[in-house]
A and B are shown apart, each in its own frame.
Chain A
């Protein structure tokens, strides 16, 4: 294999598992500044099928960022910079949340982990890492809190699928069955210190594993050696789109607020002051400027990102994420004008032709996360 590095590749960051992806035949692509496997030799469809049909799929998502927030005012700080109510978290619990601008639009969507009193851990999107960290450091100036970007030191794996728990349990020194959905525990994994959470982005039961980089190869190798199937970015995107999960840069961005993105369930306007609160409250009062809907084609085709969405023949919005779901057909998330959220004949324009569609609900296929 030709391993020469072009100048462009040279600028890409590598995860601690990069050589493993090459060894496994991964087709590498630039993604959020990293050289990442989009698929392995079996191909995206087979990888997707493995995860949906009960194997344990193993994803290297080390490109994602991690930030440790600690100190006497860590809770106050996180209440102020995130949208969800951090005071509701108990030790060992995870919460889906967001960072907003003053204008109420998204800086990022994140997960918040409560490790203990005054000790929290955030998982953030790779593409937003530097923006998020700069924002958090700037806002932290007014609080007795320490913000540390641990992204470069942390490997993040996801093990997803019906057999994930059985496979992982053999390497873990605590009872995984005791970790509920959106709960986590610190433990030893293949002898290495790890944080294991029952979270994911696939709609299957499974875990996300936070490891020091030095433990990455050992844990990855043990799981692959025991039958975990490596899964690339293409299958990961299929799995998350089928669940209707939002992805930054698609459904959420600095152009929309939680009102448009249907994420008011993670935006607690009554918890006290937080960045973006006034703007979101105002937008809620005046009404969404566009509305995120789920649709399914009734005609043939694949609704893809940026394809125009028509209502009664007139342009109303566009697809933000779309796919051919092996189980559900042509499905998509799309923004439309508020008056079209539930009214009007829907179509997606595909190569100049209007293909009929109908409104539906997410997930597009049944979620099997453990509740």
Chain B
């Protein structure tokens, strides 16, 4: 189970990478493992303004439909359109080419866990 130290996590199993005033979102290795083969991703529209905790994307596995929630607030500035053709990238590379969306942060945030806290959370 991979939990990179340079990312923050939510209790709903999203990850966020904050770099300056942008933040990149995805779902954790644990989340993709639990969902199984991902076969469809619904991406947010560019320009949509997300409040922290808003459902902004949907990932669908063979059997399940799951909302993905924004770890921090901001305006969507980029989405990973490659996931429309290759949703399995979330399974094979959840922290890299399986990223879902990027926002311009506005300062609002859900409660974020660092890698150590997320690891503990998963073990509980």
**Chain A residues in contact with chain B, CB under 8 A?**
38-39, 43-46, 234, 238, 300-302, 304, 323-324, 326, 351
Contact = CB atoms under 8 A, between A and B. Distances in A.
B60 interface: yes
Q: Which residue of B39, B42, B62 has the most chain A CB atoms within 10 A of its CB atom?
A: B62
Nearest to B36: A43
Interface of B: 36-37, 39-40, 42, 58, 60, 62-63, 65, 84, 88
B37 A44 contact: yes
Contacts of B88: 45
A286 B88 CA distance: 49
Contacts of B40: 300-302, 324
Nearest to A38: B63
Given A300-B84, A304-B65, A324 B60 contact: yes
Given A300-B84, A351-B58, A43 B63 contact: no
Closest 3 CB pairs of A and B: A45-B37, A324-B39, A44-B62
Contacts of B63: 38, 44, 234
B77 to A, nearest CB: 22
Contacts of A326: 39
Contact of A302 (B36, B37, B60, B84): B60
A44 B36 CA distance: 8
Given A39-B36, A43-B37, A234 B62 contact: yes
Contacts of A300: 40, 42, 84
A300 B87 CA distance: 13
B119 to A, nearest CB: 19
Nearest to B65: A304
Nearest to A326: B39
Nearest to B84: A300
26 contacts: A38-B63, A39-B36, A43-B37, A44-B37, A44-B62, A44-B63, A45-B37, A45-B39, A45-B62, A46-B37, A234-B36, A234-B62, A234-B63, A238-B62, A300-B42, A300-B84, A302-B39, A302-B60, A302-B65, A304-B65, A323-B62, A324-B39, A324-B40, A324-B62, A326-B39, A351-B42
Contacts of A234: 36, 62-63
Nearest to A238: B62
Nearest to B87: A324
A304 B62 CA distance: 10
A302 B42 CA distance: 10
Contacts of B65: 302, 304
A351 B65 CA distance: 11
Contacts of A323: 62
Contacts of B60: 302, 324
A93 to B, nearest CB: 35
A300 B58 CA distance: 13
B29 to A, nearest CB: 15
Contacts of B62: 44-45, 234, 238, 323-324
A38 B39 CA distance: 17
A351 B40 CA distance: 14
Contacts of A45: 37, 39, 62, 88
A300 B41 CA distance: 10
A45 B35 CA distance: 12
A146 B40 CA distance: 51
Nearest to B61: A44
Q: Which residue of A43, A46, A323, A326 has the most chain B CB atoms within 10 A of its CB atom?
A: A43
B14 to A, nearest CB: 19
Q: Which residue of B63, B65, B84, B88 has the most chain A CB atoms within 10 A of its CB atom?
A: B63
Given A234-B63, A301-B40, A301-B42, 6 more contacts: A38-B63, A43-B37, A44-B63, A45-B62, A234-B36, A302-B60
Contacts of A44: 36-37, 62-63
A330 to B, nearest CB: 8
Contacts of A301: 40, 42
Contacts of B42: 300-301, 351
Contacts of A324: 39-40, 60, 62
B33 to A, nearest CB: 10
A85 B92 CA distance: 52
A342 to B, nearest CB: 28
Contacts of B39: 45, 302, 324, 326
B11 to A, nearest CB: 23
